[in-house]
Structure 1
Amino acid sequence: MSEVVLLRDVHRVYPGQPPVRALAGVGLRIEAGELVGIVGPSGSGKSTLLNVLGTLDRADTGLVRIDGQDVAGRSDRHLSALRAHRIGFVFQQFFLAPGVTALDNVADGLLYTGASLRERRRRAARTLERVGLTDRNHHRPHELSGGQRQRVAVARALVGRPALLLADEPTGALDSTSGAAVIELLHELRGDGTTIVIITHDHHVAADLPRTVHILDGRIESDERTA
């Protein structure tokens, strides 16, 4: 298996009085096709870790390699291209364009690829089928349930075939039934070979994942795999 994420002795400190040490010597390796939960309380450093993994923030020191690319010293333009083509994001809030169909919300995930509108929509329809929403292609966000809207958001993140899918509290805005369905979907996507990292403070979500990394005070406290 090839690695999609490699962090070695990563530090991130935010200035202030006193300075905030968000990451303190984090090391992490994630192989292609893994489903990993990053778990910790508020202020533990998990959001900073997500931002570093997604190249939205830069480490002060240490190695950060995403999909085989060492991101240190890369230009903002290069990192933007890496995010556009190799990293998918799913957030607690769905960030779907109101008044726009599910199909075109997903197709918008390909805006920066240069593909034609016809090709973007073709790939969007195929991805919506993958997440079980073929019959909702032409529905607008207000016509969808919370769980369905999150599935559209997942499809938008997947449509560009990213090497890494980062999900930040993907069940946080959902009821327990819809949340469980989204986690089940992520398990299915992992079965298809997608590499997924879920950031969560919900230990019930983490308990169902094959690998759980616990972070506290900017340090990895444990890295556990289930049978």
Structure 2
Amino acid sequence: MARSERTTAAPATPRDGVPTVLALRDVTKVHGDVRALGGVTLDVRRGELVAVVGPSGSGKSTMLNIIGTLDRPTSGTVSVAGDDVGTLSDDALARLRADHIGFVFQHFHLQAGATATENVADGLLYAGVRRSERQRRAVRALERVGLGHRVDHRPHQLSGGEKQRVAIARAIVGDPTVLLADEPTGALDTASGSAVLALLRELHAGGTTVLVITHDLELAASLPRQVRMRDGLVQSESSSDAAALAAAIRGTS
């Protein structure tokens, strides 16, 4: 099959009837002599809230970039919302990202001279949405994250937590299937980080699948499912009582 074609298959459905929206099978990534991923297999079902946790260099951000189709694996297969991304052209991958994936990064990546509305509207640039409709949806997304009173503010007029909320609004403005958050609280103080985490929980409660990349063990422990990575591999997975796991982590640190 030519790489420009788009192969769509129904997502795998486990016995509980919830479809799998992300599926990695034996995924590797090699940069020169460095093996960043050594054969990762992972499934994320629709509506999950998952923490991918591990130390620096564990491969978690590399995996996120591959899941988000910002990078291609060296080997293995990746499926996003039923699409085998290995069969897609660069243009088709851009459409897939616009249709299904929202990104939240640690350092916000907002345009300094643009208003909050303009920054959020940029999240629809590749979705074929007219400018007036982009603006309308951007305001609605900002209201959804509690920033309806900041729509005309520029980044220098916003706190760190507000900047991250703008970034989250930009990520969700296209109503993505999956929200990928890479260290979303890493650049924030404790109070702002807690508020952003509460917002991610709220989005998850509304039906969004959320994957959070973090090195923060307590943050990971507060989420329903943890995937632990080390040396480019999934070391373990667990679902936990958040309070009990957080207490255990504090007790062994």
Q: Tell me whether the two structures share a fold, i.e. TM-score over 0.5.
A: yes
Unmatched runs of 5 consecutive residues or more in structure 1: none
Task: State the AA in 2 paired with 1:106.
Answer: V
Matched, 1:97 2:111: yes
Query: Aligned partners of 2:155 and 2:188: how far apart in 1?
Result: 15
2:30 maps to which of 6, 9, 13:
13
Query: Unaligned 5+ residue runs, structure 2?
Result: 1-17, 242-253
Alignment-derived partner of residue 93 in structure 2: 79
**Does 1:119 find its partner at 2:133?**
yes
Q: Paired residues, what number?
A: 224
Query: 1:114 Cα shift?
Result: 2.3
Name the residue aligned to 2:50. Answer: 36
Counterpart in 2 of 1:189? 203
Within 5 Å, which residues of 2 pair with 1:64-75? 64-75=78-89
Superposition deviation, residue 2 in structure 1: 1.4
Cα distance per residue 1:17-58 (max 9 Å; x no partner): xx2111112110001111111101011111110111011111
Amino acid aligned to 2:24: L
3-state SS of 1:212 partner: strand
1:180 aligns with 2:197: no
Q: Quick check: 1:62 aligned with 2:76?
A: yes
Identity of aligned residues (%): 58
Question: Structure 1 length normalisation: TM-score?
Answer: 0.95
Q: Secondary structure at the match of 1:65?
A: strand
Coordinate RMSD, CA, aligned: 1.1
SS in 1 for 2:106: coil
Structure 1 counterpart of 2:200, one-letter code: L
Measured against aligned partners, the alpha-carbon deviations of 1:73-115 in whole angstroms (never above 9, x if no partner) come to 3211211221122111110111111121111111111112222
| 1-structure distance, mates of 2:213, 2:22 | 15
CA displacement at 1:193 relative to structure 2: 0.5
Runs of 4+ aligned structure 1 residues displaced above 6 Å come to none
> Which of residues 208, 218, 221 is equivalent to 1:207?
221
Cα distance in 1 for partners of 2:197, 2:163 equals: 14
